[in-house]
Structure 1
Amino acid sequence: MRTKDSATTPTTIAVTAPGPPRTAAPAAAGTGATVSGTGTAASRNRAAADPRTRGTLLAGLGVIAFSLTFPSTVWGLESFGPWSLVAVRSTLAALVAGAFLLAGRVPLPERRHWAGLAVVACGVVIGFPILTTLALQTSTTSHAAVVVGLLPLTTATFAAVRTGRRPSRTFWMAAVSGAVVVLGFTLQQSGGSFSTGDLYLFGALLVCAAGYTEGGRLAAVMPGWQVIGWALVLCLPLTAVASAVSLSVEPVHLTAHGVIGLVWVALGSTFFGLYVWYRGMAAVGIPKASQLQLAQPLLTLFWSVVLLDETLPLAAPVAAVTVLVCIAVTQRAKS
């Protein structure tokens, strides 16, 4: 299954990329489609639309996985210290990713891609987990949602600078509006105060946006699971040593919640979530995929009520409707 995934990604790019008719024909044959000169315009339009639809669904799955990260981290902190949780989380994810890469006999990335993989590793494998875990020692999950509320706008900005693409004015207006709604909602619920935890959160916002942008760019030239896989493996020597040191220093009190939280942030958020997220970004583009994350803070609030017994703010339904409108606008706007 994994080998097929790796093989089908170039096929998808070949179908959706503009080019002469002779390029599209082999791609269709590779997917089992009937190749002839009599294909209808409707079938061609469906073939072109399917990758974007799949990309939106994959990015949406990534958002759902990410929305569970903060509650799972809170659970994990019941059993592990902050440094132990982050180090063991990354080590477990790296071991799983390495097993997948070995099983698929995936060759090493080209030398020109290693710098980008290092940015992904520093941003989403090391930086974001460390900063958010430290923040969640004093901040609630609803307060920490300010990070993911502002992340789409920050990612779109990083992408515009990195790739040279300029989204439309409508896109930016909807993106800024959604970010303002989420930020205002979160700060209103927390009393509008900023603390040391907030500094950790804003730092996490910046490094994660950089990692998302670079990962989305790399996912256009290699399968998304290989992007996060190689980034995790790149960090393995560091995280393995950090795991051994932190576990010997910080106390460990194993509980069911703690183990479940660790497993989810390692395999659900770090590996599976980033795998589908990068595949989605490669299909629909970094700016549009990033706007799906406007729904993530509200999903996190929902999980906080269900898993952590936090009280759901009364303003949440109003914010949810407004955010969903913003998402709809950004998905329709040209980028």
Structure 2
Amino acid sequence: MHTTSTAAHPALEKTSGWINGFIGVLIFSGSLPATRLAVLEFDPVFLTVVRAAIAGALAVGLLLLFKQQRPSRHQWLSLLIVALGVVLGFPLLTALALQHVTSAHSIVFVGLLPLATAMFGVLRGGERPRPVFWIFSVLGSALVVGFALSQGLSASPTGDLLMLAAILACGLGYAEGAKLSRSLGGWQVICWALVLSLPLMTVLSLWLAPASFAGISISAWMCVAYVSLFSMLIGFVFWYRGLAQGGIAAVGQLQLLQPFFGLALAATLLHEQVSVGMLGVTLGVILCVAGAKKFAG
């Protein structure tokens, strides 16, 4: 039992939560650019199911290797919500959206994710941040959305609606997974959610697989590897642990930085145009994250 050390060092636990959360955000920042490159050569629905199938197979191996006990009966419903939110919902909706919008365009929607995560943290996680926290959270989201508007947000109503739906699904999956991590453990939550999805994802992967993979480039395969291993599994190990340690609403605010990490990657890897105004907005967002951290609870 290690609960005494957690209780004895709450400040250390929260700091650890922010570090784990930050690592998770860095890993997730590569997801949309990698998905954008992958959907140029793979069908978006096939990409969604095959990444979950690959990650699910790895999750089975981890759970067997570390001899993890099966979740209790009441935990399976929460795992189903996690699976629908982050294993199926967010990857599928973003892959579909990326057929209509650029990676840089879609990433700005991630600015709404901290707010969605915080709201679901209140609804599902029982958290009660202070009123000032919501001011910083809304302000940070407004900065990101304002930046998006300045870039010409309504390029594709279909892509925008798909991204909004993805954010809601993801916020629910994050909050539910973080709540469950307190009793089940961070890496165990994402592994069991992937295992729960594995039979369906495997069948769909085989059914939707293209007739031939001959024309697929190495870079597209590398993107599939990234979204399967890092976006679908390793990132969540850090992310769920961080949310459970530091608080869903508080640590969730780190996602405000994800659009800017992602935009930098989009500019570097995809040569998509990123405006200089991004630096000023990034600074404002960092200040909002710091304010939200201070008044989280």
**Structure-1-length-normalised TM-score:** 0.85
CA contact (8 A) 1:117 1:231 kept: yes
* Candidates 35, 46, 51, aligned match of 1:73: 35
Aligned CA distance change for structure 1 residues 191 and 227 (closer, same or farther; 3 Å)? closer
Is 1:15 the counterpart of 2:20? The answer is no
Question: Which structure's CA Rg is the greater one?
Answer: 1
Residue of structure 2 equivalent to 1:276? 238
Q: Residue deviations 1:187-220, cap 9 Å, x none?
A: 2212545511111111101111110010000111
Aligned CA distance change for structure 1 residues 95 and 179 (closer, same or farther; 3 Å)? same
Residue of structure 1 equivalent to 2:16? 54
- What does 1:1-335 correspond to in 2, within 5 Å? 11=2, 13-17=3-7, 47-248=9-210, 253-335=215-297
Deviation larger for 132-141 or 161-170 = 161-170
Q: Secondary structure at the match of 1:111?
A: coil
> Which letter maps to 2:6?
T
C-alpha RMSD of matched pairs (Å): 1.5
Q: Secondary structure at the match of 1:314?
A: coil
Aligned CA distance change for structure 1 residues 270 and 201 (closer, same or farther; 3 Å)? same
CA contact (8 A) 1:80 1:253 kept: no
Report how many residues are paired: 297
User: What is the distance in 1 between the residues matched to 2:128 and 2:233?
Assistant: 30
How much has 1:48 moved relative to structure 2?
A: 3.6
Q: Residue deviations 1:298-324, cap 9 Å, x none?
A: 111000011101122121011100000
User: What is the distance in 2 between the residues matched to 1:232 and 1:208?
Assistant: 15
Q: Residue deviations 1:231-261, cap 9 Å, x none?
A: 0000001100110111146977321210110
How much has 1:70 moved relative to structure 2?
A: 0.5
* Percentage of matched positions with identical amino acids: 39
Q: Where do 5+ consecutive residues of structure 2 fail to align?
A: none
User: What is the distance in 2 between the residues matched to 1:167 and 1:120?
Assistant: 23
How much has 1:107 moved relative to structure 2?
A: 1.1
Deviation larger for 73-82 or 281-290 = 73-82
